[in-house]
């Protein structure tokens, strides 16, 4: 069974300039994703999908390959990740290379490790599912969340107003780190439902803890991620 790791790293980040190769705890942040994929020893190829020569150069320094560059249509602010992955698979196919399994890894995921990828793939393989997604529980029950209507707070789920937090079902959100796919099922889902873009697949979770997850959209997020990373390093040593 052939497997490819696809690290998606376009240039042109607006909120954090140079985000995908910005130094994180002493190394370009993308290097953590590359090294995790290589150390897992799961993949026949570890590639970076990018439109940036600078990102490509850094990626290759850390052991990834860049066999081709992204098109303009998958490099703008409106590009959908599923379309990026489909383009990579199509370009590989044009070169005569096809894979059974792909793992999309985000370039700003310094908490990903080779052992986590191995454990996740084991879950994926045994489950018989078409997709595995890394997830984390919401830190506070979203059933008790609010929205603003005409400047006033309104419960999103008023039926839970009198419920105790401990009695509510645990809900999860995307950890923004990695995703395993059965390639054949992914491509079929893209043909059948382009709006969902692969998310009609039967998907199993790989659970992460809150300390292992940090969405990085601004400098405050970046600082929090570095604090968490140092804390985890201390706990693991």
Q: Convert 207-228 into a string of H (helix), E (strand) and C (coil).
A: ECCHHHCCCCCCHHHHHHHHHH
User: For position 75, what pLDDT does the model report?
Assistant: 87
237 CB neighbour count, 10 Å cutoff: 5
User: For position 168, what pLDDT does the model report?
Assistant: 96
Q: DSSP class of residue 58?
A: H
Report whether 47 contacts 66 (CB < 8 A): yes
Question: What is the architecture, at CATH level 2, of domain 3-136+171-236?
Answer: Alpha-Beta Complex (3.90)
pLDDT in tens, the chain (237 residues): 999 999 999 998 878 899 999 999 999 999 999 999 999 999 999 999 999 999 999 999 999 999 999 998 888 888 889 999 999 999 999 999 999 999 999 999 999 999 999 999 999 999 999 999 999 999 999 999 999 999 999 999 999 999 998 999 999 999 999 999 999 999 998 887 655 444 579 999 999 999 999 999 999 999 999 999 999 988 776
Grouping H, G, I as helix, E, B as strand and the rest as coil, residue 26 is coil
| Contacts with 93 (C-beta within 8 Å, 6 or more apart), sequence order | none
44 CB neighbour count, 10 Å cutoff: 13
The domain locations on the chain are 3-136+171-236
Terminal CA-CA length for the chain: 35
User: For position 199, what pLDDT does the model report?
Assistant: 59
Nearest to 19 by CA among 105, 113, 108, 109: 108
Length of the chain: 237
CA atoms within 13 A on the CB side of 108: 24
Which stretches of 67-202 are assigned E, i.e. beta strand? Answer: 101-105, 131-137, 146-149, 152-155, 172-182
User: For position 54, what pLDDT does the model report?
Assistant: 97
């Amino acid at each position: 069974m052939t497997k490819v790791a696809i690290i998606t790293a376009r240039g042109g980040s607006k909120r954090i300039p140079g985000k995908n190769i910005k130094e994180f705890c002493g190394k370009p942040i993308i290097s953590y994703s590359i090294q995790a994929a290589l150390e897992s020893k799961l993949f026949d190829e570890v590639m970076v999908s990018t439109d940036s020569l600078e990102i490509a150069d850094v990626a290759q320094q850390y052991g990834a390959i860049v066999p081709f560059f992204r098109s303009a249509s998958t490099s703008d602010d409106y590009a959908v990740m599923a379309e990026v992955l489909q383009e990579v698979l199509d370009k590989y196919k044009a070169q005569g290379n096809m894979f059974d399994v792909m793992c999309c890894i985000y370039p700003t995921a310094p908490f990903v490790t080779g052992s986590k990828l191995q454990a996740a793939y084991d879950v994926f393989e045994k489950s018989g599912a078409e997709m595995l997604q890394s997830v984390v529980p919401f830190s506070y029950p979203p059933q008790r969340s609010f929205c603003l209507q005409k400047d006033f707070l309104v419960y999103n789920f008023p039926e839970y107003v009198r419920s105790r937090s401990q009695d509510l079902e645990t809900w999860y959100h995307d950890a923004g780190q990695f995703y395993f796919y059965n390639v054949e099922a992914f491509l079929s889902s893209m043909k059948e439902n382009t709006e969902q873009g692969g998310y009609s697949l039967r998907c199993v979770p790989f659970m992460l803890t809150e300390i292992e997850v940090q969405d990085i959209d601004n400098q405050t997020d970046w600082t929090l991620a570095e604090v968490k990373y140092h804390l985890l390093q201390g706990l693991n040593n």
